[in-house]
Amino acid sequence: LGEFKKLGCPILIGVSRKSFLPGALKDRLEPSLAASFVAAMNGASIIRVHDVAVHKRMFGIIDYVGSRQGRVLEAAAQDPSR
């Protein structure tokens, strides 16, 4: 994705339930979630998925954990005794 990011355009990726993911078709949810996360972390702007609610929940959790981690790190920096 790095090469596409250099073009400066939004990147659309669709990895949901693809055959390159391990597992039988019905067992590809977790690999799809992982591939979507990796794509987002590497610059994908738009992610096409089949299981929208599950992906939305996953990215919401990631955002929450990330924001909490940021607040914890900020607090620790302000009070080194923590």
Digit-coded pLDDT (tens) for 22-51: 666 667 788 889 899 999 999 999 999 988
Q: What is the Cα–Cα distance from 76 to 41, expressed in whole angstroms?
A: 25
Q: What percent of the chain has pLDDT over 70?
A: 76
Query: pTM for the whole thing?
Result: 0.71
17 is catalytic: no
Q: What is the Cα–Cα distance from 80 to 58, expressed in whole angstroms?
A: 32
Six-digit token pair at 45? Answer: 């702007």
48 is catalytic: yes
**What is the rounded average pLDDT for all residues in the chain?**
82
Q: Which residue has the higher pLDDT, 33 or 19?
A: 33
pLDDT at position 24: 60
Long-range CB contacts (< 8 A, 24+ apart) of 3-6? 4/43, 5/43
Q: What percent of the chain has pLDDT over 90?
A: 28
φ, ψ dihedrals at 59, nearest 5°? -65, -30
Six-digit token pair at 25? Answer: 């078709």
Catalytic residue chosen out of the listed positions 5, 6, 17, 18: 18
Catalytic residue chosen out of the listed positions 48, 56, 57, 71: 48
